Chains A and B, each alone.
Chain A
Amino acid sequence: MKTGNIYIPKPAVIEKVEVEEPETWTFTLSTPLEHTPGQFVEISIPGYGEAPISIASPSGEKLMLTVRRTGTLTGALHRKKVGEMVGIRGPFGRGWPHQEAQGETLLLVAGGIGLAPVRPIIEDAYRGRLNYERLLLLYGAREPALLLYKKDLDRWAKKLEVFVTVDRKNGCETAPKVWDGRTGVVTELFKEVDFSPGRTWALVCGPPIMMHFATKGLISKGVPLNRIHLSLERHMKCGMGICGHCQIGGKYVCKDGPVFSVHEALSWREIPDELEGVA
């Protein structure tokens, strides 16, 4: 069985650019995309390459990608303007188990730009397209300026249980930008929230160190290992399970993941850095 040239991206037009913070922008593209929350696309600019980016929009809506400027491709993307073209391949990968979790408690633990891959679930739950007994969002960023989707956070808080914290106030101690919310790492929020661990599904996404401590916290709260799911960050170069860069423990993060249960990941012969010593 053969296919056409699966490396050629499909063209898409940048329709909107929103600055979340100077280094992190959200791009809305003209093309709607059907996907499972937790999946990602490869965004392409000829001459600069590709980068795997999580999908932040709900399925069927115009594709929204929140991108931090860290490398060649993301740098080039930040120089693009509304109306210009980019290329898209995907969606790729296995998304969150958010459907199985319906009717029970969904606990989302996100750090920094890790809020993007759970955003479609929050948005769908907010609009009543997904039904949970409770939806709790625990979200942390390094400092107030780095919080993503600030307007969305306020809106979501009206219907869902939203807890936001920053590691440090950094410049927001005084007017005009006073941070009067919580300070402390996101795992500190576990002390504040109460949920029944046996009826809870926890979805975790953030930097490796944050996922490590979040997983540890969830385990000590009593959430079963097969109900804690992580979205692993690796270099998904091809996105299709062949180039090898994202492999861990024989799994292709791009194809078999990026979402894995802690139970599954701990059974591998190579333990992800995120889970080293959690159980």
Chain B
Amino acid sequence: MNEPVPVAEGDCLSQAFVLNRKDLGQLIERLKRTYERVYLPVGDAFREAGSIEGISFTGARALFGPKKYFFPPRESLFGFTKDGNIEDLLKEEKGAVIGARVCDLKALEVLDKYFGELPEPFYLTRKEGTFVAGATCTEPHQSCFCVQFGGLSTEGLKYDLWFTDFGDVILMETGSARGEEVVKDLDLLNAPKELLYRKERIIERVEREQGFRRINDKKIFDWFSEEVTHEIWERLAEECYACGKCNMICPTCHCFDVVDMTDLEGSGERVRIWDACHLFRYGLVASGHNFRGERLARAQYRIYDKFYYPYERYGIFACVGCGRCFEACSADIDLRDVLKVAGGEGS
């Protein structure tokens, strides 16, 4: 990690730069100038940047991803007064999310499909006003399986900057005009090709350590198409507590409930709050009928809504292999077991 970085004239990359770790504060200050608030992974979750002490972009994705920044757990849609006045709470917002991983960004692309179809103004407004910097994973978690969905390649991903953390130095690649704008002000040296090779070697190692292969999308989709009554669904339903933790932690889950929060006089806000399709009352209607009252129906629905329905509607899977659902699950349900059966590999 601490090898000296060789710099050879004419052997540098025009869109890659070297940031010394001690200058990380400068980068964050620069971002704050344009984007006001900067969020980055601190421990388990993305938090607003305070001191740069202990900030690192090594390791793998945070347990709680950056989804909550683009789609907050609780978001006010509009305000109302008891006399019937309405206050529009849709506002332009600026922010920067840095240190998101490939799986986080792929998940945002999934959300782009769902929220883009409408188009949904709150999510899209935040998305547009947010500077995004990704980071290369340097170690996999035990629950990671992104290799099944294409691994750590950033090809085709949209980002403003991309970090690879080598310890003393951070390789910074630009991915957009916004990213170049920020780099320009920092007066950084171009990065030598060598750093990029080292990044590639890290990616190869992390992918190898996961120990998976790319799945065959069509094969998986066809399995889901045929196997609605496969015995694995019964087994999952028996194990599942239907607690909704996987919904809450999933980077592509986006269901919400809408409630009115009022003061004693009747003024307040209409608010949307994350909801979970695993919960019993999710499919309940006013007449009292519960259309997904069986736990089996709910356990199966969520997984179909990752591998079958989004593929049918948008041609994509709504799973990025981040493994958060498995890490959060109290019943130790591992989605990889379902994929193993679906992919026909050692059931």
Known: A2-B119, A7-B77, A11-B84. A47 touches B268 (CB 8 A): yes
Which stretch, A48-56, A170-178, A221-229, touches the partner chain B? Answer: A48-56
Cross-chain contact B287 with A49 (CB below 8 angstroms): no
Cross-chain contact B291 with A248 (CB below 8 angstroms): yes
Complex partner residue of B259 from A5, A49, A235, CB under 8 angstroms? A49
Q: How far is the CA of A158 from the CA of B294 in the complex (A)?
A: 47
Nearest-CB distance from A44 to chain B (Å)? 8
**Chain B residues, CB < 8 A from A32:** none
Interface residues in A76-101 (C-beta closer than 8 Å to B): 85
Known: A7-B270, A47-B260, A85-B84. A269 touches B228 (CB 8 A): yes
Nearest-CB distance from B99 to chain A (Å)? 27
Complex partner residue of B266 from A47, A207, A245, A269, CB under 8 angstroms? A47
Residues of A within 8 A of B (CB-CB), count: 41
Complex partner residue of B312 from A5, A233, A240, A250, CB under 8 angstroms? A250
Q: Nearest chain-B residue to A256 (Cβ)?
A: B313
Contact of B285 with A by CB under 8 A: yes
Cross-chain contact B254 with A250 (CB below 8 angstroms): no
Max chain A C-beta neighbours (<10 A), residue from B88, B120, B308: B120
Residue-wise interface mask of A (242-279) relative to B, using a CB-CB cutoff of 8 A (1 in contact, 0 not): 11110111100000000000000000011011000000
Q: How far is the CA of A244 from the CA of B278 in the complex (A)?
A: 12
Q: How far is the CA of A47 from the CA of B81 in the complex (A)?
A: 9
Cross-chain contact B257 with A243 (CB below 8 angstroms): yes
Q: How far is the CA of A273 from the CA of B337 in the complex (A)?
A: 29
Residues of B within 8 A of A (CB-CB), count: 55
Q: Nearest chain-A residue to B266 (Cβ)?
A: A47
Cross-chain contact B78 with A8 (CB below 8 angstroms): yes
Contact of B304 with A by CB under 8 A: yes
Cross-chain contact A244 with B77 (CB below 8 angstroms): no
Contact of A241 with B by CB under 8 A: yes
Nearest-CB distance from A115 to chain B (Å)? 15
Known: A46-B84, A269-B308. A3 touches B313 (CB 8 A): no
Q: Nearest chain-A residue to B268 (Cβ)?
A: A47
Complex partner residue of A242 from B77, B118, B287, CB under 8 angstroms? B118
Cross-chain contact B80 with A241 (CB below 8 angstroms): no
Contact of B217 with A by CB under 8 A: no
Interface residues in B238-284 (C-beta closer than 8 Å to A): 254-260, 262, 266, 268, 270, 272, 275, 277, 282-284
Cross-chain contact A3 with B121 (CB below 8 angstroms): yes
Interface residues in B69-86 (C-beta closer than 8 Å to A): 77-78, 80, 82, 84, 86
Contact of B124 with A by CB under 8 A: yes
Q: How far is the CA of A279 from the CA of B118 in the complex (A)?
A: 34
Q: How far is the CA of A249 from the CA of B80 in the complex (A)?
A: 36
Contact of B64 with A by CB under 8 A: no
Cross-chain contact A8 with B255 (CB below 8 angstroms): no
Q: Nearest chain-B residue to A85 (Cβ)?
A: B84
Contact of B58 with A by CB under 8 A: no
Q: How far is the CA of A11 from the CA of B262 in the complex (A)?
A: 19
Q: Nearest chain-A residue to B288 (Cβ)?
A: A70
Q: How far is the CA of A12 from the CA of B319 in the complex (A)?
A: 43
Q: Nearest chain-B residue to A46 (Cβ)?
A: B80
Cross-chain contact A244 with B287 (CB below 8 angstroms): no
**Chain B residues, CB < 8 A from A247:** 277, 305, 309
Cross-chain contact A3 with B285 (CB below 8 angstroms): no
Contact of A217 with B by CB under 8 A: no
Contact of B289 with A by CB under 8 A: yes
Cross-chain contact B119 with A250 (CB below 8 angstroms): no
Nearest-CB distance from A213 to chain B (Å)? 15
Cross-chain contact B275 with A273 (CB below 8 angstroms): no
Contact of A4 with B by CB under 8 A: yes
Known: A11-B84, A244-B254, A273-B289. A250 touches B305 (CB 8 A): yes
Contact of B225 with A by CB under 8 A: yes
Cross-chain contact B283 with A244 (CB below 8 angstroms): no
Nearest-CB distance from B23 to chain A (Å)? 36
Cross-chain contact B224 with A240 (CB below 8 angstroms): no
**Chain B residues, CB < 8 A from A193:** none
14 further interface pairs, Cβ-Cβ under 8 Å (given A233-B287, A250-B305): A6-B120, A7-B78, A7-B270, A8-B77, A11-B84, A46-B86, A46-B260, A71-B286, A237-B257, A242-B114, A242-B115, A243-B272, A244-B275, A250-B310
> Nearest 8 pairs between A and B by C-beta?
A250-B309, A244-B255, A46-B80, A70-B286, A7-B77, A5-B90, A47-B262, A5-B88
Listed A/B pairs (6) with beta-carbon separation below 8 Å:
A3-B118, A46-B80, A49-B259, A207-B287, A241-B118, A249-B309
